[in-house]
């Protein structure tokens, strides 16, 4: 066999491998879209008021997902959803692992992030001139509003509220530890809001960003029907 013939044969093999890989990859993407579509349909059934729903699963997990009674992991995003209890509109990001295919659907572990938009956060903050600066809420304090206070969100006993991180007056920074305790109490009572924690979950953290106020819930061994009815 000549060198040219060997080169042509190797080239054909490489092309065949590439084409086969493309077909396999294309098939995997199609299956992923099909499975994701079924997940979206299930979310729509459980949360009928939700809109802008999307779901995705890792392609490399597809083979085991198709053979197993469990889906290893799924990411779900909901653009608009009204939380029960508070009636607050928010966006949701859900990361679920080890989801049973049988009913009632059981979820091994779940992280749920509810983000309240900036406009709603500022409206409900209790402070007229509030604005988001980095990971805090800034408000004017003192005579004529010359001072600026940075507030950070906290969670305790079913309530989210703000506490002072620091105060700046005429360029001088005053840490929260140097402030009278009753000032923190005033800020808390003015900003406290009750929240309903979905069944089976607990609040992991609360934070502020340019997107708004984010509440991260976390839980294990959750039944989907119970979660949906309390979310």
pLDDT band at 29 (very low <50, low <70, confident <90, very high): low
DSSP string, 130-195: -EEETTEEEEEESGGG-EEEEEEEEEETTEEEEEEEEEEETTEEEEGGGS-HHHHHHHHHHH-EE-
Q: Which residue has the tokens 């903050």?
A: 125
pLDDT at 173 over 90: no
pLDDT at 27 over 80: no
Neighbouring-strand partners of residue 136 = 133
- Rg over alpha carbons for the chain, rounded to the nearest Å, is 25
pLDDT at 122 over 50: yes
Q: Do residues 186 and 67 make contact, with C-beta atoms less than 8 angstroms apart?
A: no
Q: Is residue 160 situated within a structural domain?
A: yes
Give the tokens for residue 6: 């060997």
Count of domains observed in the chain: 1
Give the tokens for residue 30: 């199609």
Q: How far apart are CA 174 and CA 183, in angstroms?
A: 13
Q: What is the pTM assigned to this prediction?
A: 0.81
* Of the listed ranges 9-13, 97-101, 167-171, the one predicted with least confidence: 9-13
Q: Which residue has the tokens 């197993």?
A: 68
| Mean pLDDT (whole number) for 201-230 | 92
pLDDT band at 209 (very low <50, low <70, confident <90, very high): very high
Of 94 and 85, which is predicted with more confidence?
94
pLDDT at 61 over 90: no
Q: How many helices (H) and strands (E) does the chain have?
A: 5, 12
Domain carrying residue 141: 119-194
Q: How far apart are CA 188 and CA 128, in angstroms?
A: 16
Q: Is residue 211 situated within a structural domain?
A: no
User: How does pLDDT run across 104-121, given as a tens digit for each residue?
Assistant: 889 999 999 999 888 887
Q: How far apart are CA 215 and CA 213, in angstroms?
A: 7
Give the tokens for residue 44: 């729509």
Q: Is residue 7 situated within a structural domain?
A: no
Q: Is residue 131 situated within a structural domain?
A: yes
Q: Is residue 167 situated within a structural domain?
A: yes
**Burial (Cβ within 10 Å: 0-12, 13-18, ≥19) of residue 120:** middle
Q: Is residue 78 situated within a structural domain?
A: no
**Burial (Cβ within 10 Å: 0-12, 13-18, ≥19) of residue 87:** exposed
Residues in the chain: 231
Q: How far apart are CA 56 and CA 83, in angstroms?
A: 23
Q: Is residue 89 situated within a structural domain?
A: no
What is the distance in angstroms between the CA of the first residue and the CA of the last residue of the chain? Answer: 70
Q: How far apart are CA 85 and CA 104, in angstroms?
A: 24
Report the candidate in 130, 135, 110, 108 with the shortest Cα–Cα distance to residue 120.
Answer: 130
Task: Tell me what pLDDT residue 21 has.
Answer: 38
Q: Is residue 174 situated within a structural domain?
A: yes
């Amino acid at each position: 066999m000549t060198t040219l013939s060997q080169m042509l044969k190797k080239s054909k093999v490489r092309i065949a491998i590439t084409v086969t890989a493309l077909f396999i990859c294309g098939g995997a993407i199609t299956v992923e879209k099909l499975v994701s579509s079924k997940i979206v349909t299930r979310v729509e059934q459980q949360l009928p008021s939700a809109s802008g729903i999307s779901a995705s699963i890792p392609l490399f997990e597809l083979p085991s997902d198709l053979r197993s009674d469990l889906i290893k992991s799924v990411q779900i995003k909901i653009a608009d959803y009204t939380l029960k209890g508070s009636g607050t509109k928010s966006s949701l990001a859900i990361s679920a692992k080890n989801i049973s295919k049988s009913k009632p659907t059981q979820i091994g572990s779940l992280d749920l992030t509810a983000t309240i938009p900036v406009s709603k956060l500022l409206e409900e903050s209790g402070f007229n001139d509030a604005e988001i600066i980095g990971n805090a809420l800034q408000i004017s304090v003192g005579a004529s509003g010359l001072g600026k206070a940075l507030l950070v969100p906290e969670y305790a006993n079913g309530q989210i509220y703000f506490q002072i991180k620091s105060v700046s007056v005429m360029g001088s920074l005053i840490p929260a530890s140097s402030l009278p305790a009753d000032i923190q109490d005033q800020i808390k009572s003015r900003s406290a809001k009750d929240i309903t924690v979905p069944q089976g979950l607990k609040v992991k953290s609360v934070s502020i960003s340019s997107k708004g106020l984010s509440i991260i819930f976390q839980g294990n061994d959750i039944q989907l029907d119970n979660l949906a009815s309390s979310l």
